[in-house]
Every structure is written in structure tokens, then in C-alpha cells.
């Protein structure tokens, strides 16, 4: 495949920056780089433009450094929330990738960030908070907090049944209208009960007439003698 040398007029990721002289496929240069204005052929006349391209590159890199430095300060204070589906045991279905984090940064904070600048040693596979490294610039790194939450509602807690003895005691106490055993009214010791006052107008009961004592069971009674 034929190669040709070109001078880049714009920064192209993976290829080079302004004023760089690179070798590319002739068809790639002819069909893409030249029509898009991203490069110019390497000729004597075009070499005179190198100084202007180097100046433009220096200004662009300085602007990117300032922008990424400010972004690093702001993004370190954010918490990016990502919701995922989980099973009953709390385990996630799938993983959280750098592309998902980039999408949520755009949705939640309107921050456009290339997913290649989000560095994950391993995809996130567990719920909770995670710290993710961001390589924003050659000289600027930052950290982003990512909180992974579940969209599956937790199961309702099951209440333990009360012991039968306490339950029956509470029911009996409730029916009688008395306080449970050991409970005292607010303000100190329970008041002792005095004698009940007599109701006015109630006649006193007359004493019962003496009755002969009943014979104890099993005791023999003497029979009266028969008359002759």
C-alpha cells in the first residue's frame, strides 16, 4: 500500500497534532485528510506554514490544560449515581463500564468526556461507592466518585412473632383495663389503695341467724330413740 507524507493542520487522536509530519496511506490522505482540511501535502511551499501551525498548537494545548485543570477541581466534588438491576441476593446483572459513566456525566452534569479518559482497571461489579481515576490530560489526573445503586426494591422485613406467654398476658391485661405488671404511672410510686367508702343510703345487712353447723362428711349421727 502506497504511503505519503503529510503535515497535520489539526490534532488527530492517535495520529498527531498540528505541525506534525506523519506518513499515512495515500488513499486515507486523499479521501479523508485533505477533503476535511485536517492535513496538507508535504511540499516546500507548505513547510513555510509550520511556524503558524506550531503557534496554533501551543495555544490549543495551553487552553486544554487550563480547561482540564478546572474540570478536575469541579469533578472531584461530584458523585455520579448509576442505577442497575440486581437479583434478590443483591448481586448485579452485568457490570458498570466507562461508557456508562461517560453517559451519566453527560446526563446528570452536562459534562462531555471521552470514555477513553475514564480509566477502570476492572469493570465495576458491586453496589456501593467506588473511586474512578480520570486521565483528563497528559499532566492532569482526577478522581470521580461513582455510586452504584439498585433499582430492585429490597424485600420487606418479616416481623418475629411475639412469645405466646407475653401475648396472652397482654390480652388479659387489655381486657381487664389494668396496666401490665411492673408498669407504674408517671411521676413515682403507685398510690396504695385505701378502704372503699361506703355508699350513702345503702342499709346495713342484718346478721344471719345462727345455723347449726353442718356435719362433717363421713361422721355418723345418733338416731333418736323410738317411742314405745
Cβ(15)–Cβ(8) below 8 Å: yes
- The grid coordinates of residue 206 equal 342484718
pLDDT band at 91 (very low <50, low <70, confident <90, very high): confident
Give 187 or 159, the one with higher predicted confidence. 159
Question: Can you give the pLDDT at residue 191?
Answer: 56
| For range 144-162, the mean pLDDT | 75
* pLDDT digit string, tens, across residues 108-128: 999 999 999 999 988 899 999
pLDDT band at 102 (very low <50, low <70, confident <90, very high): very high
Cβ(38)–Cβ(8) below 8 Å: yes
* Order of all β-strands in the sheet with 128-137: 79-84, 140-150, 128-137, 118-119
* Order of all β-strands in the sheet with 21-25: 21-25, 3-8, 39-41
Q: What homologous superfamily does CATH list for 73-150?
A: Ribosomal protein L9, C-terminal domain (3.10.430.100)
Give 75 or 196, the one with higher predicted confidence. 75
Residue 136 has pLDDT above 70, yes or no: yes
- Pairing verdict, β 140-150 and 79-84: parallel
d(CA 198, CA 196): 6
209, with CB counted inside 10 A (0-12, 13-18, 19+), is: exposed
Cβ(108)–Cβ(79) below 8 Å: no
Class of domain 3-69: alpha beta
Average pLDDT taken over every residue of the chain: 79
d(CA 125, CA 4): 46
Q: Please give the sequence-ordered ranges of beta strands (E in DSSP) within 27-92, or none if there are none.
A: 39-41, 79-84
* pLDDT digit string, tens, across residues 8-21: 999 898 899 888 99
**This model's pTM is above 0.75:** no
Residue 27 has pLDDT above 80, yes or no: yes
Give the largest Cα separation in the chain, rounded.
174
* pLDDT digit string, tens, across residues 156-174: 566 666 565 555 555 565 5
**Does residue 83 sit in helix, strand or coil?**
strand
Question: Can you give the pLDDT at residue 169?
Answer: 56
Cβ(126)–Cβ(113) below 8 Å: no
Question: Beta partners for 41?
Answer: 6
The continuous run of DSSP H or E covering 188 comes out as: none
Question: Can you give the pLDDT at residue 228?
Answer: 43
d(CA 52, CA 203): 126
Residue 132 has pLDDT above 60, yes or no: yes
d(CA 114, CA 10): 18
The DSSP result for 106-138, as a single string, is HHHH-----GGGEE-SS-B-SSEEEEEEEEEET
Domain ranges within the chain, ordered by starting residue: 3-69, 73-150
d(CA 57, CA 8): 11
Find the Cα–Cα–Cα–Cα dihedral 92, 93, 99, 105, rounded to 10°: -50
Residue 94 has pLDDT above 50, yes or no: yes
Amino acid at each position: 500500500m502506497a504511503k505519503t507524507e503529510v503535515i497535520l493542520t489539526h490534532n488527530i487522536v492517535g495520529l498527531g497534532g498540528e505541525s506534525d509530519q506523519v506518513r499515512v496511506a495515500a488513499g486515507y490522505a486523499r479521501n479523508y485528510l485533505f477533503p476535511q482540511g485536517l492535513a496538507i501535502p508535504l511540499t516546500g511551499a507548505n513547510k513555510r506554514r509550520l511556524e503558524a501551525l506550531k503557534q496554533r498548537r501551543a495555544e490549543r494545548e495551553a487552553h486544554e490544560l487550563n480547561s482540564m485543570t478546572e474540570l478536575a477541581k469541579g469533578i472531584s466534588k461530584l458523585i455520579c449515581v448509576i442505577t442497575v438491576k440486581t437479583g434478590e441476593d443483591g448481586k448485579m446483572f452485568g457490570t458498570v463500564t466507562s461508557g456508562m459513566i461517560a453517559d451519566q456525566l453527560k446526563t446528570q452534569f452536562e459534562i462531555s468526556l471521552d470514555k477513553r479518559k475514564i480509566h477502570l482497571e476492572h469493570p465495576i461489579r458491586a453496589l456501593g461507592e467506588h473511586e474512578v481515576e480520570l486521565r483528563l490530560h497528559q499532566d492532569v489526573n482526577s478522581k470521580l466518585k461513582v455510586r452504584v445503586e439498585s433499582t430492585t426494591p429490597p424485600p420487606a422485613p418479616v416481623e418475629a412473632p411475639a412469645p405466646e406467654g407475653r401475648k396472652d398476658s397482654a390480652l388479659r391485661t387489655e381486657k381487664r383495663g389494668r396496666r401490665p405488671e411492673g408498669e407504674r404511672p408517671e411521676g413515682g410510686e403507685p398510690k396504695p389503695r385505701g378502704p372503699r367508702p361506703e355508699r350513702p343510703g345503702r342499709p346495713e345487712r342484718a346478721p344471719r341467724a345462727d345455723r347449726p353447723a353442718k356435719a362433717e362428711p363421713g361422721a355418723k349421727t345418733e338416731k333418736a330413740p323410738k317411742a314405745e
